[in-house]
Amino acid sequence: MKKLLSVLIITVLISGLRSRADEGMWLLPLIEKLNIGKMTELGLKLSAEDIYSLNKASIKDAIVIFGGGCTGEIVSSQGLLLTNHHCGYGQIQSHSTLEHDYLTDGFWAMTKEEELPNPNLSVTFLLRIEDVTGQVLKGIRPEMTETERNTAINEARAAIEKRAAEGTHYRATVSSFYGGNNFYLLVYERYLDVRFVGAPPSSIGKFGFDTDNWEWPRHTGDFSVFRVYTAPDGKPASYSKENIPLKPKYWLPVSIKDLNEGDFAMILGYPGRTQRYATSWEVGELLEITHPNRIKIRGIRQEILMADMQADQKINIQYASKYSGSSNYWKYSIGQKAGLERLNVRAKKEQIENQFNTWISANPEHKSKYGNATGLIRNAVAGRAEFANAQQYISECFLQGCEILSMNQVASSLISIMKSGDSRRVTDLTSAMKERAASFYKDYNPPTDQKAMKAMIKLYRNDVPGKFHPDFYTDVVDKRFRGDTDKFVDDIFARSVFASEDKLMAFLNKPLLKTLESDPVYLTATSISKVSAEVSRGLSQYDADLTEGRRLWIAALREMTPEKTLYPDANSTMRLTYGSIFNYDPRDAVTYKYFTTLQGVIDKYIPGDYEFDLPQKLIDLNNRKEFGRYASPKGHMPVNFLTNNDITGGNSGSPVLNANGELIGLAFDGNWEAMSGDVAFEPELQRTIAVDIRYVLWVMDIYAGAKHLVDEMTVIQ
């Protein structure tokens, strides 16, 4: 019975936790013990130490966290870095103007002097990972409450982090794995001078935009190029003209050999978050609250933004990155909700829970250790539902949906300083705020925000129960404007000092406390903050039970299947995933090939369409078959390809490597049929979409004339 139960759990858990090469996001220090045998069977020619080593340069030394949410890789001895176009999109947009529209035209620095600095961009290298579970849990006692347990763990984590970073410029963090059952110390080195080197026009780098997003077949040249700089002594430093290109410990060689179905492929990167061990109640929360809310709210706002973007090129530049960031996970929610429903994932999770109940009932010790797990999760999810709903509406409608309200940070800071009576600090702060304001208004169009704010204020009132309404609805909207939310928003933009850059600059030249304290942006945002704090308190009362329940649940799953090593959920730490290049069958009588071609790009071409327009030069080069050394021996110019690697958000820009550890592509997306994969892995459908490195180099070299960048790389033919 026990053996049969284990088999059933393995079959159901996470859509079949089988020993397959394409499933799992593995910790690098454990690949020698857990994975290297299977990887070798699939074709890997390297050792585990070639991938991750503390004693010599290895592949992990070429992989970086790019900014705050993507992956990048070093590809030359001069610190040249590749990532996705959509990862560098914010930087491309920030440098774009009507006169120099790099979003539309692309950009290529032909010398290092032409490379563009990015003050708020950094890249982070992983130095080492160490299992510190024993140290973290040393002081934990069974009789502790969950709050006491968390306090003791956080104190231990802080002490370990302090010791690890002491006397260095490194950053140390202790991260939780397996729901708080294991802990690893990760030591990082961060570089602050990262310069924009090049990117194709968006008609190549984002070809297909929203329509093709998360879809196969794809035809997107999703890449951008940066360079990491250091101080003359080689250490991290802020931007300076005296800085020099990074001399990396390791850089990835680049292969332009042909790719074939079945070829080995592995990916190293920084996957963000997965919920593979989520229960049926947590899946229900996704289906009933998280995804419907995001789909509805963002969909309404995005329509407003897109209408203005299509009507005015300046607004298009201002809002391109904002719109892209919003729409990406809007479509993700559409796809994941549909996938969870189509594959009946909630019912599959219920089967696991039923097996768990049988397992604990058969053994008093198991029941004593884990019997409360599902009850804690179920009750916490049910209890927090109304607060989770309200919190998401506050975030989506107010904090993200009404840009002008973000200026309340300026108002609150200035009010606090002005009340202190310290005139010098007031002068310093107003000077700093003038610089911040210039950056904010560069990418801000008040009429667009005004339209969006009207929609968001009205939507929140209609959709969220009255007990979660900020008091500005009753005290201002109802009393002064007879319930007319549009007039309320019009008044904000008519009277607030934050409604335009000119108004704010005039105010900062002669700031008055009374003016700020009566400003409608300050008053509205303060009203929202009060409700937000109340909602957060409501949510937090369920945190301890949810944390304890998840910890016990994951521990139980691991004990129920001792013959299977379960990988930890993604948590923005470096992971390795391995598999092969493969076709797939999305539905009956349909097979998708593992690659797409430049001719496929041309076939999708729609002149003048913002999603499917193309540069004439690209069309001409294809017509003349000017592919240089980057063409496939099969006669086509490759663009994108598929692998069965296991990735998620955060892996964008991750290197796809062949059996020799050579770069063959950049991961940039997943496929529509497997959108539920963050919650339940789908072994027959899950695919990673990557841009072929040959297309990347062809665009640089043949299309853009930036051959000097390709010449920096170690190209394997």
82, β-bridge pairs: 73, 225
Domain ranges of the chain: 20-122+192-276+569-716, 125-191, 280-540
**Structure tokens of 607?**
């002149």
Amino acid at residue number 398: F
To the query of whether residue 222 is one of the catalytic residues in this protein, the response is yes
| pLDDT at 22 (0 to 100) | 65
- 10 falls in which pLDDT band (50, 70, 90)? very low
Catalytic residue among 61, 212, 222, 692: 222
The yes-or-no verdict on residue 11 having pLDDT over 50 is no
Of 428 and 401, more confident: 401
To the query of whether residue 176 is one of the catalytic residues in this protein, the response is no
Q: What is the mean pLDDT of the chain?
A: 94
The yes-or-no verdict on residue 18 having pLDDT over 70 is no
Is the sign of the CA dihedral 268, 269, 270, 271 positive or negative?
negative
Catalytic residue among 86, 327, 333, 654: 86
* pLDDT tens-digit readout, 166-223: 999 999 999 999 999 999 999 999 999 999 999 999 999 999 999 999 999 999 999 9
3 state SS of 350: helix
The yes-or-no verdict on residue 292 having pLDDT over 50 is yes
Is the link from the previous residue into 217 a cis peptide, with omega within 30 of 0?
A: yes
The yes-or-no verdict on residue 4 having pLDDT over 80 is no
To the query of whether residue 86 is one of the catalytic residues in this protein, the response is yes
| pLDDT at 475 (0 to 100) | 97
* pLDDT tens-digit readout, 464-477: 999 999 999 999 99
Closest by Cα among 637, 629, 633 to 601:
637
- 268 falls in which pLDDT band (50, 70, 90)? very high
478 vs 487: CA distance, rounded Å: 11
* pLDDT tens-digit readout, 122-168: 999 999 999 999 999 999 998 999 999 999 999 999 999 999 999 99
Mean pLDDT along residues 15-26: 57
- 713 Cβ contact partners less than 8 Å away, ≥ 6 residues apart: 75, 76, 80, 253, 254, 697
> Is-above-0.85 flag for pTM?
yes
Under CATH, which architecture does the 20-122+192-276+569-716 domain have?
A: Beta Barrel (2.40)
| pLDDT at 672 (0 to 100) | 93
Question: Alpha carbon of 26 to those of 23, 278, 554, 561, 571: distances in Å?
Answer: 9, 19, 17, 18, 11
Radius of gyration of the chain (CA): 27
Catalytic residue among 15, 224, 652, 654: 652
689, β-bridge pairs: 642, 669
Q: Is 385 exposed, middle or buried (0-12, 13-18, 19+ CB in 10 A)?
A: middle
The yes-or-no verdict on residue 421 having pLDDT over 90 is no
**Is the CB of residue 643 less than 8 Å from the CB of residue 658?**
no
The yes-or-no verdict on residue 14 having pLDDT over 50 is no
The yes-or-no verdict on residue 6 having pLDDT over 80 is no
Mean pLDDT along residues 627-647: 97
Question: Alpha carbon of 282 to those of 382, 601, 679, 681: distances in Å?
Answer: 9, 40, 10, 16
